[in-house]
Amino acid sequence: MSTDTTPAEPASKIDLPDHVAGDAGSIPSFDCTFRIARFDPEQDSEPHWEEYNVTMYGTDRVLDALHKIKWEIDGSLSFRRSCAHGVCGSDAMRINGRNRLACKTLLKDLDTSKPIIVEAIKGLPLEKDMIVDMEPFFQSYREIMPFLITSGHEPTRERLQSAEQRQAFDDTTKCILCAACTSSCPVFWTDGQYFGPAAIVNAHRFIFDSRDEGGDMRLEVLNDKEGVWRCRTTFNCTEACPRGIEVTKAIAEVKQAILQRAF
Amino acid sequence: MSTTSIPAPRTGYSRHKSTRSKFEMFAWLFMRISGVVLVILIFGHLFVNLWVGDGVQAIDFGFVAGKWASPFWQIWDLLMLWLAMLHGTNGLRTIIMDYSEKPSTRMALQVILYIAAVIVIVLGTLVIFTFDPCPAGADPSVLAEFCKA
């Protein structure tokens, strides 16, 4: 074993002279205006707009701007967010009139020359600022029984499934229950009685699972007055989904499954 | 500082009870099937009335009377009337369901819609079946050829 006498490598093998390096690698910053629908249930009878000017960077997302406003300008701004990386589905909101996750919407993809409009998602009872009561959403989610239903003894090994069988419902396993789809649906906005795309997507995930035996019960639930037949195929849900689930296609597949079962 | 009263607890969210009815499924299916059939019926109707023979110039009382003297065109027009009216009524019903927010508005609009639909369907059916192609005492120049025999 020999002792290492060579000097440690420098952090960068290329030392750029100052006149070449400049600030080429720095992140561009820009000023942008946020117009946010604020609602305080203790003072307001309905939401009102407030504008905030912030200096943001090209790598920032809408969520970063909301953080900056909350932490540096107005601490009373309320919104939900948990993971902040597009997995938990907490921060769905209406940004420039489209339902998206604030943590997945980059400022550089929006038109920062105009105010960026941020509102709570529509169709669910507003509680404060961006926070809505998600109970109606989760109630219809619970009604479609989003869990594995089987009969007989539990097998001693895992329930096997072929790649093709898994492929049938692969798309709908991606749902993170952010409610961006359901709250973008015009049918849901009217009276909130429609099951909504998210509940149907999660029913689809089990109906088309070869291991599940509760498909008939779920199809029966969705064959209701407020079930899949209220879908008008406006594709708002498919456009809103931050996970890229083909929601309208999944609803159409459930419609087909109900028809095949009926005839 | 004034004390703010504690708001009443949320009454909770009430979903309609499941109806276990297949009506919406049949309504959905009817819209698809009647739509396809109507495309054939309407374009057939337009082709025969506006295109064949003298085309649009041929339409007069005699032309219509001649068509309705045949059971084929009676059934064709009857199907067109019923399918178009039910298709349109169901379409308006879904629009009312989707856009009216108050139950009273919803009910009022639906009542008007159904009354209008029933009047048109009954009146139309009556016209097709009780139509007299050769009314007595009419000007013979406007009547169909077969009335003169």
End-to-end CA distance of chain B: 99
One-letter amino acid of A146? P
pLDDT at B12: 53
pLDDT at B9: 46
Q: For chain A, which domains are there?
A: 29-132 (3.10.20.30), 135-150+164-262 (1.10.1060.10)
Residues of B in contact with A262 (CB under 8 A): 22, 25
Q: For chain B, which domains are there?
A: 24-147 (1.20.1300.10)
- DSSP state letters, chain B: -PPPPPPPPP----PPPP----HHHHHHHHHHHHHHHHHHHHHHHHHHHHTSTTGGGG-SHHHHHHHHTSHHHHHHHHHHHHHHHHHHHHHHHHHHHHH--SHHHHHHHHHHHHHHHHHHHHHHHHHHHH--SS-TT--TTTS-GGG--
Condensed to tens digits (0 to 9), the pLDDT of residues B88-146 reads 999 999 999 988 888 899 999 999 999 999 999 999 999 998 888 777 777 777 777 77
User: In percent, how much of chain B has pLDDT > 90?
Assistant: 52
Rounded CA-CA distance A205/A146 in Å is 8
Contact A223 B25 (CB under 8 A): yes
Sheet holding A116-119, edge to edge: A48-57, A29-38, A116-119, A92-95, A98-101
User: For each of chain A's 263 residues, which pLDDT tens digit applies?
Assistant: 556 677 776 666 666 666 665 666 678 889 999 999 999 999 999 899 999 999 999 899 999 999 999 999 999 999 999 999 999 999 999 999 999 999 999 999 999 999 999 999 999 999 999 999 999 999 999 999 999 999 989 899 999 999 999 999 999 999 999 999 999 999 999 888 899 999 999 999 999 999 999 999 999 999 988 899 999 999 999 999 999 999 999 999 999 999 999 88
Rounded CA-CA distance A208/A1 in Å is 62
Contact A224 B18 (CB under 8 A): yes
Flag whether pLDDT at B41 surpasses 90: yes
Would you say A104 and A242 are in contact if contact means Cβ atoms under 8 Å apart? yes
Using an 8 Å CB-CB cutoff, list residues of chain A that contact chain B: 41-42, 125, 133, 135-136, 139-140, 143, 186-187, 190-193, 220-221, 223-227, 229-230, 232, 255, 258-259, 262
Provide ipTM, 2 decimals.
0.78
Interface size A-B, in CB pairs within 8 Å, comes to 59
pLDDT at B54: 83
